[in-house]
Amino acid sequence: MRLSASVLSSFPPIDEAAADRLLAQEIAASSRKIVVLDDDPTGVQTVHDVPVFTGWDHDSVLAGFREKSRLFFILTNSRGFTAEQTSKAHHEIAAAVDAAARETHCDYLFISRSDSTLRGHYPLETRLLKEDYEKFTGKTLDGEILCPFFREGGRFTIGNVHYVRYGDELVPASETEFAKDKTFGYSAATLPDYVEEKTGGEYRAADVICISLEDIRAMNYDKIEAQLMAVRGFNKIVVNAVDYADIKVFCIALFRAMRKGRLFMFRSAAALVKVMGGVTDQPLLTRDRMVVEETSNGGVIVAGSHTARTTEQLEKLKELSGIEFIELNAGLVKDEAAFAAEVDRCLKIEEACIRAGKTVCCYTTRNLITADTGDSEDELRLSVKISDAVQSLVGRLTVTPAFVIAKGGITSSDVGVRALGVKRASVLGQIRPGIPVWQTGPESKFPRTPFVIFPGNVGTAETLKEAVEILTAPGGAGAR
């Protein structure tokens, strides 16, 4: 089922200008607030000038509804949670969102933004949101839309198969390292089969509705709308897409169906969020857009992700001169005292480097450390212990770094929420495609410091090196 990447340019073109006009009309006619629950901080990798809240207390959620933006993000970090923790968080969020919606007299919909390689607590999260939404509003959700397309990360859906791009080849996600995830693994080759596998047969592959690229490229809005209008019983809808233009065509039909009363839940990667929210394109961030306060201190990069892509990127980063590399021996994690001493050792070197104006990269042992108990939640708990150690390499700093780069989803969340203490951040945009940058708020440990959220599985081997080069430009912060 592997394909040549040349297939991406083989489909008939779309009149995107016409689609843009129609989509703008549909978005303008919709008054629903889009509440995006992000299971790690990387979901803002396609948007800019959008608020992110790291908690779901009443005041935070109410502030989200009062923002001018059509959408706002709530960072749940639930990909690093157990199923029990995820359930508790989603019940709390659903209640807080409905209360804020009533207070502001605003309709809303949920997008459950998750991994573009299909990892995460699915179908648990969307089922919980569905049940609570229906309980609070008295309305019935007709269907659930699955849209894992994410162009910036090389994720494409063709013929109901979700692909990950490796160079000139498209590889089914089911054949990648991501499908072998100890906690969220799967074996299904097609998205309908994925639905059946993950729901334990509650929703059969044969019943999943698929929005084809043929109909999208033909701009057959009426047919796509009819498919959406026919959905009942929270059945699943799979969206095929290889470009943002495909998502735009689909969303035109989607908004038309919603205007006629159909209600949906969404499980998607970051691309659908951007299109539904009407977020415009903008150039990649330059250094002067990110760094607002110059310093002679070095920056800090912390890497907890153990994906092959991250390892490649770290090796390429070593080609840059003037960066100090510190390896945190994650193999010691099962020995509490030894692991604590190892973290202290790394922190001491790190602080000295930053004070001396040298950028430092702290990374965990590259081999995957496993619990070996046969329990997927034991694996998750172990990874959380390692991530806790990694975030402490930022949270325990007594010197302000020029910038912070966190590599990996769980790592990014822990650094943003626990180490930096961010409660509300503004998404500046992307430093490289699919790699967002927050500007930290005044309440954070390092106010107004650029915080680069670097997914573990995004970019080429060169991308981390490129991002660091931008932030350590000659004469700039962290440059030596």
**pLDDT per residue over 16-69, tens digit each?**
999 999 999 999 999 999 999 999 888 899 999 999 999 999 999 999 999 999
Domain stop point among 226, 252, 276: 276
* Per-residue confidence band for 473, with pLDDT thresholds at 50, 70 and 90: confident
| Confidence check: pLDDT of 476 > 50 | no
Domain membership of residue 246 (yes or no) is: yes
Same-domain pairing of 266 and 291:
no
Domain membership of residue 479 (yes or no) is: no
Structure tokens at 159: 């013929």
pLDDT for 382 equals 80
Domain membership of residue 200 (yes or no) is: yes
Same-domain pairing of 236 and 355:
no
Same-domain pairing of 241 and 309:
no
| Confidence check: pLDDT of 1 > 90 | no
Which residues 6+ apart lie within 8 Å of 61 measured at CB?
53, 74, 93, 96, 97, 99, 100
Kindly report the average pLDDT of the chain as a whole number: 94
> Rounded distance, CA 254 to CA 143, Å?
12
425 contacts 52 by C-beta, under 8 angstroms = yes
DSSP characters over 72-109 = EEEE--GGGS-HHHHHHHHHHHHHHHHHHHHHHT--EE
Return the CATH number at 149: 3.40.50.10840
Least confident of 234-248, 271-285, 296-310, 334-348: 296-310
CB atoms within 10 A of CB 204: 14
Structure tokens at 217: 């490229």
Higher pLDDT residue, 273 or 478? 273
| Confidence check: pLDDT of 383 > 90 | no
Domain membership of residue 113 (yes or no) is: yes
Same-domain pairing of 98 and 40:
yes
Same-domain pairing of 343 and 460:
yes
Q: What is the identity of the amino acid at 137?
A: T
Domain stop point among 245, 276, 307: 276
Range(s) of the domain holding residue 173: 3-276
Domain membership of residue 478 (yes or no) is: no
Domain stop point among 251, 276, 301: 276
In this prediction, residues 6-20 reach a mean pLDDT of 97
pLDDT for 363 equals 92
Same-domain pairing of 430 and 452:
yes
| Confidence check: pLDDT of 385 > 90 | no
Return the CATH number at 342: 3.40.980.20
What is the 3-state secondary structure of 169-220? EEEEHHHCHHHHCCCCCCCCCCHHHHHHHHCCCCCCHHHCEEECHHHHHCCC
Same-domain pairing of 214 and 247:
yes
% of residues, the chain, pLDDT over 70: 98
Same-domain pairing of 336 and 238:
no
Using the structure block, give the residue that is written with the tokens 């081999």: 367
In this prediction, residues 116-129 reach a mean pLDDT of 97
**pLDDT per residue over 320-363, tens digit each?**
998 999 999 988 988 889 999 999 999 999 999 999 999 999 99
Same-domain pairing of 291 and 419:
yes
Domain membership of residue 480 (yes or no) is: no
| DSSP3 helix / strand / coil % (the chain, rounded to 5) | 45, 20, 35
Domain membership of residue 282 (yes or no) is: no
Same-domain pairing of 162 and 269:
yes
**What is the tally of structural domains in the chain?**
2
Domain membership of residue 178 (yes or no) is: yes
253-257, long-range: CB < 8 A, 24+ apart: 253/221, 253/222, 253/224, 253/225, 253/228, 254/145, 254/224, 254/228, 255/23, 255/26, 255/27, 255/29, 255/30, 256/26, 256/221, 256/225, 257/225, 257/228, 257/229
Q: What is the identity of the amino acid at 49?
A: D
Same-domain pairing of 253 and 334:
no
Nearest one of 94, 152, 153, 145 to 123, comparing CA atoms: 145
Same-domain pairing of 131 and 217:
yes
Q: How far is CA 101 from CA 107, 246, 283, 392, in A?
A: 6, 31, 34, 36
- Report the predicted TM-score, pTM, of the whole model to 2 decimal places: 0.88
User: Is residue 113 exposed (0-12), middle (13-18) or buried (19+ Cβ within 10 Å)?
Assistant: buried
pLDDT for 474 equals 64
